[in-house]
Structure 1
Amino acid sequence: MPPETLGSRLRGNTYEVKRNTLTTYFDRTASKTWEQLTSDAPVSGIRATVRAGRNRMRDTLLSWLPEDMTGLRLLDAGCGTGALAVEAARRGAAVVAIDVAGSLVEIARERAPAGLAIDWRVGDMLDPALGRFDHVVAMDSLIHYRAFDIVAVVQALAERTEASLLFTFAPSTKPLEVMHAIGTLFPRSNRAPAIEPVRERLLRTLIASAMPGATLARSARISGGFYTSHALEVLPG
């Protein structure tokens, strides 16, 4: 698929509308929910499985990054409440942690230990003003987007990435399709915008077509209870 087609999709209605929906959801509806979910506070059985799954996924992505990141620059693209950004900074990285939801960034800023090199920002992870990075991580920040939008975002981020880009997507599995249809991930009062299940083979094909010089390296799927997410490592060409 030609880059110009991907670019038009990236700035088209599907991407922009979904991003705005996510901003509204996290800032106006679910800030307290996600503050609790990403803490050690007691949560319901459903949310406990989501918390456990997210912790396992974060540990997996961190294991794909260097143990010593001194002198390296990392973008946490969709940082949420900041756990991954904090760990990367503890390894010595200079971290730019950005999210569309200002309420989550504020929680992250308040939780972060003092003395870490983290630049907390509210805005679009695709902002070219953020500069270039050695590593980029987008954990569960693309699970609400369709395949073509995911690939367009990955392509745009990879153009500013030197070593590796790690991202996750919602794999198209029977259990996830059922949960997606029923809509029981969270109670109705604060349910998240719909997750978009994506076929892994399709995503790999689209990335190979859009980014012929890139390499798809490590791959891992975390699945348990009400959490299912698949991680891919992209090495830019």
Structure 2
Amino acid sequence: MAQSYATAQDRIRQYFDTVGFEKWQRFARGEAQNRIQASIVAGREQTMATILDWGGDWRGQSVLDAGCGTGAFARRLVDAGARVTGVDISAREVAAAKERVPEGIFRQADFYGVSETFDTIVCLDSLIYYAEDDLLQLLQHLGRHMRTTLYFTFTPSTVFFEVMHTVGKLFPKGNTSPAIAQIKAKRLYERLATETTLRLVRTTHISSSFYQTTLVELRQA
């Protein structure tokens, strides 16, 4: 396992078990304290709605919510008729997900701790902290455990985010979330085609001010 992946895991776990927990609980309830948070809430709402639409009839599907957080999307999947299992490395978030979605099965686990097979796997903003090489390895691993479809999001490398990253370095703040990896979309798609067994089905970019993400649907080639 790459050191970059282990480092990202440590930072993510620490953040979501501490200062990030209450923030993401608010996001799960659709609450925002400022303009930036409001754009994140709105963007995630659009992303969740798009995944639900792309998935069609969720009734009876076994779904892994990989990086389930506090259970916001798991709640919607269950309401749509899916049988949901969620994993997350944050113990606090797993506890919150169990409370929010008592019908689901949730456990504290790393992505590589996934050993079962599911009809569909969803990674909603849970892979955005990993560099390109780590991201590809994670997708390949998760792809071995899905029967039909894998949905994931990544943050595309743009001038806007390069500026934001620079500003973040110039004006560092305490207790900030882990750094989001900026991914070159064209190169990622090329590497998916040549280095994995996964087939790109469709993509869409979701833009909501400070929330910029690309949603991808993959299937086995």
Choose the corresponding residue for 1:17, options 4, 7, 17.
7
Matches within 5 A, 1:47-196: 47-70=37-60, 72-112=61-101, 114=102, 116=103, 118-129=104-115, 131-183=116-168, 188-196=173-181
TM-score w.r.t. structure 2 length? 0.93
Q: CA distance change for structure 1 residues 42 and 139 in 2, over 3 Å: closer, same or farther?
A: closer
Q: What letter matches 1:83 in structure 2?
A: A
3-state secondary structure, aligned to 2:18: helix
Q: Give ranges in structure 1 of 5+ residues lacking alignment.
A: 1-10
TM-score w.r.t. structure 1 length? 0.87
3-state secondary structure, aligned to 1:191: coil
Q: CA distance change for structure 1 residues 29 and 206 in 2, over 3 Å: closer, same or farther?
A: same
3-state secondary structure, aligned to 1:141: coil
State the alpha-carbon separation in 1 of the partners of residues 119 and 132 from structure 2: 25
1:203 is matched with 188
1:224 is matched with 208
| 1:214 Cα deviation from its structure 2 partner | 2.9
State the alpha-carbon separation in 2 of the partners of residues 145 and 214 from structure 1: 18
**Contact 2:149–2:217 (8 Å) recurs in 1:** yes
**Contact 1:133–1:160 (8 Å) recurs in 2:** yes
Alpha-carbon displacement from aligned partner over 1:174-203 (angstroms, at most 9, x marks no partner): 11221222229xx92331111111000111
Matches within 5 A, 1:1-40: 11-40=1-30
**Contact 1:96–1:120 (8 Å) recurs in 2:** yes
**Contact 2:43–2:207 (8 Å) recurs in 1:** yes
Structure 1: which 4+ aligned runs deviate by more than 3 Å? none
3-state secondary structure, aligned to 2:7: helix
Compute the RMSD of aligned alpha carbons. 1.7
Q: What letter matches 1:78 in structure 2?
A: G
State the alpha-carbon separation in 1 of the partners of residues 37 and 133 from structure 2: 29
| 1:46 Cα deviation from its structure 2 partner | 1.1
Alpha-carbon displacement from aligned partner over 1:199-225 (angstroms, at most 9, x marks no partner): 0011101111112x4320110111121
State the alpha-carbon separation in 1 of the partners of residues 32 and 68 from structure 2: 22
